[in-house]
Structure 1
Amino acid sequence: MSRRRGLSPEDRELWSRVARSAIPLHPQRPVLPETAKARPGPSEPDRSPPLAAFGFKPFRVGQIPAPAGSAASVPMPSPAQRLAAQPLRMDAKVHRGMTRGKLAPEARLDLHGMTLAQAHPALIGFVLSCHTQGRRLVLVITGKGKGDHGPLPTRAGALRHQVPHWLHMPPLGGAVQQVAPAHYRHGGEGAYYVYLRRNG
């Protein structure tokens, strides 16, 4: 079977009619003459517009690019920064003394070495028990975190990031008045002061 060497005159005429009826995707791109289309040179430079014209940004191999303006392109705030941005729901003088480490916690819970699945029920039981007993200031120690080694991968310091969320969600949200990072003498970044509402 012989190999075809190009378009016949009839095929070329049919192709030119189809090409004339097509709507260009990029009208600003120059239209090459038919002769140049038929025989492109091997070293002809690429005249297509750069990817930046379509909103694409270069990235390194192994890096997942974040959409422009997305939350992933902005660094996530630390748990301490998120807590500092929350409104003050307790007496300012008591809050100042608490965050300076001048108030002694009445009870403490150490979550070191626990997985997220173990820590959540332990935290719920501890906080609700302290609230029932009328305690006001308790300390929850999470540690700075080296990662959770369970079956699913989680980021380092998973407890440190998750505990403030749990303290503001049911069933603990109704008992908790304020959460703040602990003073360095009570654990610093690896612990939280939990100020409880008055019981009853």
Structure 2
Amino acid sequence: MKRRGGRRLSEEEAKLWRHVTRSIRPLPGHTPPLEPAPAPEAEATSPEHRPAEASPPAKIERRPPAPPPLVPLERRLMRDLRRGIDRIDARIDLHGMRQNEAYYALLGFLRRAQGEGARVALVVTGKGSTAAAVADPFSERGVLRRLVPHWLGLAEMRPVVVGFSTASREHGGDGALYVRLRKGAKGRPGGEARP
């Protein structure tokens, strides 16, 4: 079947046309649409007419595996951290840092802590300056407090971070996060880090 422009349908277009016309009924008094003939060049190059050795090998598209999902910290671990039974292996304080500086400091800190065998890290973001909010009510307060949870969910952090949760009042409350780290290279759980 020729189209208005004089072009013949390709084999793929003809297949699609046959599929569509199977699901319709013509109006009373009309004949069903004709099945289009495939283009002559499509017949010559269709897979059934092509020699087997001439077909190109199928490409297998390999995508990098999706990063593992974040999971909330277990209730028992949260309770033990609050009571001091389980310990915080590493700490970082991002107070006063600019966003860019804080992001790279956090990423480097978490990778180092994981390499040293740390299991739980405390990330102090601060709650934002009340004085700054009073001086300029339109200024943003607690930018790092809002951004750090977002950063912990990014693809480059996911190989390091299992999950996170707001810290208990004893460790900073809303201005801090407990971060559970994935197992890394074996090493000594390590103390304080403050870039």
Report the TM-score when normalising by structure 2: 0.50
Alignment pair present for 1:179 and 2:164: yes
- More relative contact order, 1 or 2 (CA 8 Å, 6+ apart): 2
The answer on whether the counterparts of 1:99 and 1:181 sit within 8 Å (CA) in structure 2 is: no
Larger mean CA deviation between 88-97 and 155-164 belongs to: 88-97
Alignment pair present for 1:166 and 2:141: no
After TM superposition, the structure 1 = structure 2 runs for residues 64-143 of structure 1, keeping only pairs within 5 Å, are 88-89=71-72, 91-98=74-81, 102-143=85-126
Equivalent position to 1:144, from 108, 127, 147: 127
Cα drift, residue 90 of structure 1: 5.2
In 1, the alpha carbon distance for the partners of 2:182 and 2:166 equals 18
In 1, the alpha carbon distance for the partners of 2:75 and 2:98 equals 34
Size of the aligned set, in residue pairs, is 112
In 2, the alpha carbon distance for the partners of 1:126 and 1:154 equals 29
Q: Identity of paired residues, percent?
A: 38
SS in 1 for 2:179: strand
Aligned-pair Cα RMSD in Å? 2.7
The answer on whether the counterparts of 2:70 and 2:158 sit within 8 Å (CA) in structure 1 is: no
CA shift in 2, pair 1:184/1:89, >3 Å: closer
Report the TM-score when normalising by structure 1: 0.49
Q: Flag the structure with larger Rg.
A: 1
- Name segments (4+ residues, structure 1) moved above 6 Å: none
SS in 1 for 2:141: coil
In 2, the alpha carbon distance for the partners of 1:178 and 1:99 equals 17
Flag structure 1 segments of 5+ consecutive residues without an equivalent.
1-85
In 2, the alpha carbon distance for the partners of 1:158 and 1:185 equals 22
